[in-house]
Amino acid sequence: MRRLSLHRRPAALVVVVAIILLTTAAMVVGPGALSDPSPAGSATRVVSATADLVVTADHCAAGWRSRTAGHVVFGIEDRTDHSGEIYVFNPYSGVTVAHTALDPHAIVRLPVHLPTGRYRWSCRLEGLPARTSTVVTVGPAPVLGGPAGPTFYVPVTANHMAGAISSYRAYVEEELTLESSQVQLLATAIAGGQISAARSAWLTAHLTWHRIGGAYDAFGALGTSIDGTADGLQAGTASPQFTGFHKVEMDLWEDDSLASAAVDTTALLADVGALAVRFPKESIAATELPLRTHEILEDALRDELSGEDDYGSGTDMASVEADVDGTRELLSLLAPLLRPRAPDLLSTVTSQLDALDTALSAAQVDGQWVAVDQVPLAQREQVDGAIGAALETLALAPELLHVVGSTT
């Protein structure tokens, strides 16, 4: 939960890579070779041909534009002095379609099967910053079929999203008010020297934060101060930038220090209060809610089910359960837009989230939440399978609700 901007990582951790085409053949061909399809799954190097896509030090896949879905052979030219790789992926589902190596001043021919959807290229060249192309639409984006059979992409405008955004804003404002009161109760328990009560109050307040749905740093620097980890900080947990819920968690569980917890909870309360004041004035992009619907659980998979943000409480599974609640809330807000575009999606993902809740409850040991690495293997596998299924379905939401005229 660490970014306000909408620049997302290109690959989701959970979505199974659909097609990876990476066999390189060393075969020199003539200038007309790019029009001749090569066997599926092969990338062929050529010494002279007209390139469809061009990679430079400043641009990735220049020439990338909307096209019809299906099989295509791309000629990709690396016009730099650097070797590396290029891959094409769906930035909303995280599915990588194909990738290949690049050589300086050479063209590679890459056969790709592009299903309907929206795609971008990513270029990783040694010694140069990573670059990505624009996102383009390939063919008419399909949606899940209903009783009348499959339908097709129905454009969404910013006006269509206005009602959902208004309802979301009201929801977050109400939850932030609740959050403030719960953090105040945490401070009271700490001041009273009641470490057991403080731990319970911490968990209650932390789960409310997860229900708000602050995935991928939806609330910017304040969100990081409220629920950031020590990951990436030069001084680690000793860094003054390590603040918020996880710092208090470390105080209460690892250090058993009510004195430290009192100081850090005071800072946490101030940050929550500041966000409650700022949030009503924040603009919310029309593209944000569909993306966040998928990203809440994606964030849970990366940080919580890996145990990377556990600072002693062993409550990551409880956090995922709260993330499910936040996901359901967003789905309810977007339901009027999703139903006409994907009649089966809501019922499908609701069943999948129910299965995830069931798996999470079964992951408790003797009725208590335990650290991820202490969950029995069979129960952990059930959780992993359930969240994976839900994420695959939720990945459709950003495509179905792509806002016309947006660049994300």
Per-residue confidence (pLDDT) for residue 27, from 0 to 100: 29
Per-residue confidence (pLDDT) for residue 148, from 0 to 100: 37
Position 49 confidence tier, pLDDT thresholds 50, 70, 90: low
More confident residue, 205 or 44: 205
Look at residue 221 and tell me whether its pLDDT is greater than 50.
yes
Position 95 confidence tier, pLDDT thresholds 50, 70, 90: confident
Fold exhibited by the domain 23-138: Immunoglobulin-like (2.60.40)
- What is the chain's mean pLDDT, rounded? 83
Look at residue 149 and tell me whether its pLDDT is greater than 60.
no
CA 79 to CA 261: how far, in whole Å? Answer: 56
Q: Would you say 103 and 26 are in contact if contact means Cβ atoms under 8 Å apart?
A: no
More confident residue, 115 or 406: 115
Position 406 confidence tier, pLDDT thresholds 50, 70, 90: low
Task: Please name which of 211, 239, 241, 234 lies closest in space to residue 325, comparing C-alpha atoms.
Answer: 211
The residue written with tokens 């309907």 in the block is 116
Look at residue 408 and tell me whether its pLDDT is greater than 90.
no
Look at residue 59 and tell me whether its pLDDT is greater than 80.
yes
Look at residue 40 and tell me whether its pLDDT is greater than 60.
no
Position 344 confidence tier, pLDDT thresholds 50, 70, 90: confident
**β partners of residue 111:** 73
More confident residue, 351 or 136: 351
Domain ranges of the chain: 23-138, 158-400
Of 8-17, 31-40, 300-309, the range with the highest mean pLDDT is: 300-309
- Give me the amino acid identity at 77: E
Lowest mean pLDDT among 70-74, 214-218, 243-247, 314-318: 214-218
Cβ atoms < 10 Å from Cβ of 239: 13
- Element spanning 170, H or E: helix 158-191
Lowest mean pLDDT among 30-44, 84-98, 185-199, 256-270: 30-44
Q: Could you read off the pLDDT of 269-280 as tens digits, one per residue?
A: 999 999 999 999
* Range 158-400: architecture per CATH: Up-down Bundle (1.20)
Look at residue 19 and tell me whether its pLDDT is greater than 80.
no
